[in-house]
Amino acid sequence: MTDARSSEQRKRGSLSVVRPAVLGAEGAFETFITITSDGSVNAYNGHVDLGTGIRTALGQIVAEELDVSFARVVVILGDTAVVPNQGATIASETIQITAVPLRKAAAQARHFLLARAAERLELPANDLTIEDGLIRGHDNRSVSYGELIADETIRLELADDVAVKAVSAYSVVGQSVPRVDLPAKATGELVYVHDVRVPGMLHGRVVRPPYAGVDAGPFVGTSLIAVDEASVRDIPGLVAVVRIGDFVGVVAEREENAIKAAAQLKVSWKPGPVLTDLSDIEKALRANPSTPRQLIDRGDVDAAIKAAAKPMQRTYVWPYQMHGSIGPSCAVADYGDGAIRVWSGTQNPHILRGDLALLVQRPESEIDVIRMEAAGCYGRNCADDVSADALLLSRAVRRPVRVQLTREQEHAWEPKGTAQLMDVNGGLNTDGSVAGYDFVARYPSNGAPTLALLLTGRIAPEAAVFEMGDRTAIPPYDYENLRVVANDMPPIVRASWLRGVSALPNTFAHESYIDELAAEAEVDPIEYRLRYLKDKRAIDLVNAVAERAGWTPRPVWKEPEADGDIVRGRGFAYALYVHSKFPGYGAAWSAWIADVAVNKTTGDVSVTRVVAGQDSGLMINPEGVRHQIEGNVIQSTSRALMEEVSFERGAVTAREWGAYPIIKFPELPEIDVLMLPRQDQPPLGVGESASVPSAAAIANAIYDATGVRFREPPFTPERILKGLHGEQPVAPAALPSPAPPADLSRWQNPFAKRGGVLAGIAALCAAAIGIGAAVLPWRAIAPIARPDASVYSAATIARGKELAALGACAVCHTSEHGIVNAGGRPLETPFGTVYTTNITPDIDSGIGSWSYPAFERAMREGIHRDGRHLYPAFPYTHFARTSDADLQALYAHLMAQTPVRAETPANTLAFPFNLRPLLAGWNALFHQPQPLQPDPSKSAIWNRGAYLVEGLGHCSACHSPRNALGAERQGAYLAGGFAEGWEAPALTSLSKAPIPWSEDELYAYLRSGESRLHGVAAGPMAPVVQELAALPDQDIRAMAVYLASFNETADRPAHDALAAKLEAATAVATAASAGARIYQGACAVCHEVGGPPLFGSRPSLALNSNLHSDAPDNLIQVILHGIAKPAVTDLGYMPAFKDSMSDGQVAELASFLRQQFAPGKPAWTDVAATVGRIRQTIAR
């Protein structure tokens, strides 16, 4: 865009065709065409290319009328500084409406240049020919446009009565031309608004209020209580936190830090307002206050219906849907004192400019909105909120700021395609004719003011009512008695135009109803329509589509022959999309014949084939028209089959693609596009028409297949099953989980996070004080000077390093982002917080003054050098089993570290847990500080494994259950426990894993962090595997041998066969619940067995121990928090879904996964409550 402008200024002469500006100063004008003396052509249009290829089609029109080559024309769209103000890019108007003056301007320029050439060449104009801007006489003399312009500045005022070319003379228009933008898009060279980089640019993110998706009501702009700037003080490069009313944003030097800051910023909001309950759309729309507006009243509808032989009253409901742009909104703003520039993906640059002027109280003339290519938006960018967000942040920091919405914000806050309700009253006369047609639509308005205006309080958050629900509200059929009323009403949820606007729902009703009439009249539905269709082009189209599809008349519904569970059907629908302010005008005519396959057992509907016919008038770029038809067919099939915004307490809850699925490649119908040749007719808008018949054609096909009418999309499996079989319990009532056995205590030790058995505490105190008193006091061991590590051999130190890894010392003794082993990591316990200590050899704050005997006593007896008891969060009960040689080596390694001065924060334990002497009693009860004795009946490798596992490896510290006093239970070794909010599953035959653990799988898991038959290490286990990387293979093998001995003997072929069987039996074939859809949208990409390879592992959920466990904790943990630090990077990463899914959604997902992948296990109970509890805990 800037290129076009600056190059224009450089050139000497030019010819422009202009008109006086609609708004602006006296003498201001708007330019449509500029031809410069070098022969280049710039064409300006106020509309923008939303990805439909309009840029290419407009270039063709200009090239045609100007008689220059297509390649010579540069089309400039939507830049407010240079393009004419032609309003919003909506309603498929660009070709039909806004291209008209452009075409005339091009023709006018050609006439002017031709006349001038005639003069110059002294030949009559009609003796001249033009080829690519070169005008030639019959005597072969020629002159180019550039030469005719030379250094003059010629400005022509656009005339009304310009003669344009006859269609028969067209050579560029009407030919398929490749899109001009695609080569750059396919190579990453095109600069979308998302790719704009301005010198000095910062990155911003916004934080949206909790009333997600609602923009009217007294709470809008007034709900913010406080923003805690201290909560983001640690974010590197943070530049500003901005708050204006309910508008909150952050600005940082780097994008990822802006993202972190926005996620981390503590913002408090007033308690959520009571929003309209949208669980029942029909009820909500009926309750919404409205004003009736009669659009037509012909004949005597009331009398006709009263006299009908067969009265038929029907209601059709349309859900809230999303535009679902693949690219979340983005803009860059640069707020300067004299000039403001905003790079935007808006659909209406001039209107946006007005909003921005209002927002920052600056004159429009100072603001330049530069329209860049953006992600397809289908009406969403009528409210390009992010441009205003970027401007507010740029104003706050006085630097250019780029803002992109998160996916979650885009889903929640995009103005939706609104819900709609259509009531049809009517019926049949005895002869099967239509008695009357009384149509009433209820359509919440979709004004969608720019959000920042509302959030900052610049405009009042009032729900404005517009006349909008009337598009194609009048049916295309010549009913004798016809009345149509549009009920105008305020929005309930924020909404903007969505492809097909109110015409798609209205047509769903018209075309479903006439199908119902035909069925009642026992007349073929196409034949029945033709009785009432008077428009010649419509009739031609309907006939052409019927012929193309091989339609066979179906006057009476017959049960189709079933193919197993599958029944097939075919449906028809037709529409002339009438858009814009009532009565509006027609775009292209469109008709569908849809074929469907309905699975009567699962409720799945697939659209297998669509014949889509269209009469578009003159097609500027026929391939471009075909792409629009196909795009509309695919998008509207998706909308009809699966799309519906979900709400919780009236706020939008679908915040990612699992909760709002759209059609995927394998679900595509075969599409047969039929484009009627009408090149002699005026061009019509083609951006939306083909979507308008969609839902009705599909519903009619489902009726044809099943004999059941569906009057409310989306046609999800649940709806189909309900329609076919009536209200059924969704699934067999889940069996209650068996009461957890008393021994499934979730204690890890007194320092486990999970609360518990407070009753035991009194006993602990009593016992401990009693026993402790007998053995007090403990002596301090005198400090020493820091030992010289060089007395130890390098081999010993290296061995000690391995042992430290086995003990995972650094995992606990290192704080987040802290120095290794310098301590300070908080361990949350039910009794308070314990901080791990500094175990670097610093004399004052670490263990530099510890002699070996002091170290050994700590490791074996849990006593600090100074005589204090250590809390058994420190697993000395295991470390005690280590050999003297290994403890020596470990000591050598620790002393050879670089000392780090780091004071350990004071523990914050409540009485009596702050009384360390009590631990003496605990030790007396539960600690046996003898080194491990080998079992002579076992192999050497088994004994080695036992030593590693039971000693420094301290596996059972997490993997064994604890008694009420927090000690590992006798007789339940490795039978499973809980640690840090995660279940540490049983490692013995008590394991819930569907396939028993074998030596090889244990080895694979401990070595690589993954067992194909069980899953990947996550949560607290991931860093353990990371540490184990330091150990040689034979030690890992020994651990695997030892642990495997607690399991049944491995049978590898049997295990593999079982895995294959489990995976085959649990393959997800249908998406019949919200949980299943979330799985397919969010999880399957990385977890579906046999899915396309992606970087990282592909854990098989059917085999995953966590799904088979009695407790859902690990599954919920990993869904909420993801895996940010895998054991090894080869495993790949799992994103955290905590900010993308509600507790209810996570619970639905977890419940689905349990039912699907562990079908033999009882459903988990209280999953939602567990999600809530785990959400509160700190993620590892």
Partner 1 sequence: MRLTVNGRNHDVDAAPDTALLYVLRNDLELNGPKYGCGLGECGACAVLIDGVAARACVIPIEGCAGRDIVTLEGLGTREHPDPVQDAFIREQAAQCGYCLNGMIITTKALLTRNPHPSEHEVLEALRYNLCRCGAHIEIVRAAMRAAGHVLEARD
**Residues in 47-66 that interact with partner 1 by CB under 8 A:** 50-53
Going by C-alpha positions, the residue among 438, 354, 414 that lies closest to residue 88 is 354
Residue 192 Cβ vs partner 1, minimum distance, rounded to whole Å: 7
The contact pattern for partner 1, residues 253-272, with x = CB under 8 A and - = no contact, is: -xxx----------------
Candidate list 119, 677, 758, 1095; residue touching partner 1; CB under 8 A: 1095
The residues near 536 (Cβ < 8 Å, ≥ 6 apart) are none
Q: Is 414 in the site for partner 1 (CB under 8 A)?
A: no
Candidate ranges 285-293, 361-369, 600-608, 1124-1132; the one touching partner 1 (CB under 8 A): 1124-1132
> How many residues form the binding site for partner 1 (CB under 8 A)?
79
The contact pattern for partner 1, residues 196-215, with x = CB under 8 A and - = no contact, is: -x-----x------------
Q: Is 1117 in the site for partner 1 (CB under 8 A)?
A: no
**Structure-token pair, residue 143:** 């002159």
Radius of gyration of the chain (CA): 37
Within residues 305-324, the interface with partner 1 by CB under 8 A covers 323-324
The residues near 910 (Cβ < 8 Å, ≥ 6 apart) are 831, 832
Within residues 375-394, the interface with partner 1 by CB under 8 A covers 375-376, 378
Candidate ranges 181-189, 223-231, 392-400, 521-529; the one touching partner 1 (CB under 8 A): 181-189
CA distances from 356 to 46, 193, 386 (A): 18, 17, 11
Candidate list 398, 664, 1052, 1061; residue touching partner 1; CB under 8 A: 664
What is the Cα–Cα distance from 510 to 372, expressed in whole angstroms?
39
Assess contact for 409 and 208: CB atoms under 8 A. Answer: yes
Q: CB-wise, 279 or 1129, nearer to partner 1?
A: 1129
Residue 227 Cβ vs partner 1, minimum distance, rounded to whole Å: 23
Within residues 1030-1089, the interface with partner 1 by CB under 8 A covers 1081-1082, 1084-1086
Q: Is 115 in the site for partner 1 (CB under 8 A)?
A: no
What is the Cα–Cα distance from 871 to 927, expressed in whole angstroms?
13
For every residue of 290-301, which 3-state class applies, written as one string? Answer: CEEEEEEEECCH
Within residues 217-246, the interface with partner 1 by CB under 8 A covers 236
Residue 1009 Cβ vs partner 1, minimum distance, rounded to whole Å: 13
Residue 658 Cβ vs partner 1, minimum distance, rounded to whole Å: 7
Residue 108 Cβ vs partner 1, minimum distance, rounded to whole Å: 32
The contact pattern for partner 1, residues 141-180, with x = CB under 8 A and - = no contact, is: -------------------------------------xx-
Q: Is 1173 in the site for partner 1 (CB under 8 A)?
A: no
What is the Cα–Cα distance from 461 to 450, expressed in whole angstroms?
11
Pairing of the two strands 134-136 and 224-228:
unpaired
Pairing of the two strands 14-20 and 153-157:
parallel
Q: Is 818 in the site for partner 1 (CB under 8 A)?
A: no
Give the DSSP per-residue string, 625-672: HHHHHHHHHHHHHHHHHH----EETTEE---STTTS----GGGPPEEE
Q: Is 182 in the site for partner 1 (CB under 8 A)?
A: yes
The residues near 487 (Cβ < 8 Å, ≥ 6 apart) are 290, 291, 292, 293, 440, 441, 442, 443, 469
Within residues 898-917, the interface with partner 1 by CB under 8 A covers none
Residue 976 Cβ vs partner 1, minimum distance, rounded to whole Å: 30
Q: Is 1012 in the site for partner 1 (CB under 8 A)?
A: no
Candidate list 432, 457, 490, 1096; residue touching partner 1; CB under 8 A: 1096
Candidate ranges 167-175, 653-661, 710-718, 901-909; the one touching partner 1 (CB under 8 A): 653-661
Candidate ranges 9-17, 220-228, 619-627, 746-754; the one touching partner 1 (CB under 8 A): 619-627
Within residues 1134-1163, the interface with partner 1 by CB under 8 A covers 1134-1135, 1137, 1140
Amino acid symbol at 206: V
Q: Is 631 in the site for partner 1 (CB under 8 A)?
A: yes
**Structure-token pair, residue 969:** 């239970």
Pairing of the two strands 73-77 and 41-45:
parallel
Q: Is 641 in the site for partner 1 (CB under 8 A)?
A: no
Candidate ranges 596-604, 631-639, 900-908, 1106-1114; the one touching partner 1 (CB under 8 A): 631-639
CA angle 229, 230, 232 (to 5 degrees): 75
3-state DSSP helix/strand/coil percent for the chain, to nearest 5? 35, 20, 45
Q: Is 632 in the site for partner 1 (CB under 8 A)?
A: yes
Q: Is 671 in the site for partner 1 (CB under 8 A)?
A: yes
Q: CB-wise, 665 or 911, nearer to partner 1?
A: 665
Q: Is 838 in the site for partner 1 (CB under 8 A)?
A: no
Residue 463 Cβ vs partner 1, minimum distance, rounded to whole Å: 28
Residue 807 Cβ vs partner 1, minimum distance, rounded to whole Å: 24
Place of tokens 């189709």: 560
Q: How many helices and strands, by DSSP H and E, does the chain display?
A: 37, 35
Amino acid symbol at 695: A
Residue 309 Cβ vs partner 1, minimum distance, rounded to whole Å: 43
Candidate list 92, 404, 988, 1156; residue touching partner 1; CB under 8 A: 404
Q: How far is CA 930 from the centre of its chain?
A: 56
Q: CB-wise, 669 or 953, nearer to partner 1?
A: 669
Assess contact for 689 and 588: CB atoms under 8 A. Answer: yes
Q: CB-wise, 632 or 646, nearer to partner 1?
A: 632
Q: How far is CA 1123 from the centre of its chain?
A: 19
Q: Is 192 in the site for partner 1 (CB under 8 A)?
A: yes
Residue 665 Cβ vs partner 1, minimum distance, rounded to whole Å: 4
Instruction: Give 753's DSSP letter.
Output: S
Going by C-alpha positions, the residue among 927, 925, 921, 926 that lies closest to residue 861 is 927
Residue 598 Cβ vs partner 1, minimum distance, rounded to whole Å: 21
Going by C-alpha positions, the residue among 214, 418, 449, 463 that lies closest to residue 351 is 449
The residues near 1124 (Cβ < 8 Å, ≥ 6 apart) are 1133, 1136
The contact pattern for partner 1, residues 337-376, with x = CB under 8 A and - = no contact, is: ------------------------------------xxxx
CA distances from 764 to 457, 870, 925 (A): 60, 16, 10
Assess contact for 1021 and 1014: CB atoms under 8 A. Answer: no
Q: Is 705 in the site for partner 1 (CB under 8 A)?
A: no
Q: Is 585 in the site for partner 1 (CB under 8 A)?
A: no
Q: Is 327 in the site for partner 1 (CB under 8 A)?
A: yes
Q: CB-wise, 675 or 1059, nearer to partner 1?
A: 675
Pairing of the two strands 401-404 and 202-207:
parallel
Candidate list 289, 550, 741, 1092; residue touching partner 1; CB under 8 A: 1092
Q: CB-wise, 324 or 841, nearer to partner 1?
A: 324
**Structure-token pair, residue 359:** 């927002």
What is the Cα–Cα distance from 481 to 476, expressed in whole angstroms?
13
Q: Is 506 in the site for partner 1 (CB under 8 A)?
A: no
Within residues 523-562, the interface with partner 1 by CB under 8 A covers none
Instruction: Give 247's DSSP letter.
Output: E
Residue 1084 Cβ vs partner 1, minimum distance, rounded to whole Å: 7
The secondary structure element, H or E, covering residue 42 is strand 41-45
Within residues 754-813, the interface with partner 1 by CB under 8 A covers none
Length of the chain: 1180
41-45, strands of its sheet edge to edge: 73-77, 41-45, 29-36, 14-20, 153-157
Beta strands in 542-646 (DSSP E): 566-579, 585-599, 605-615
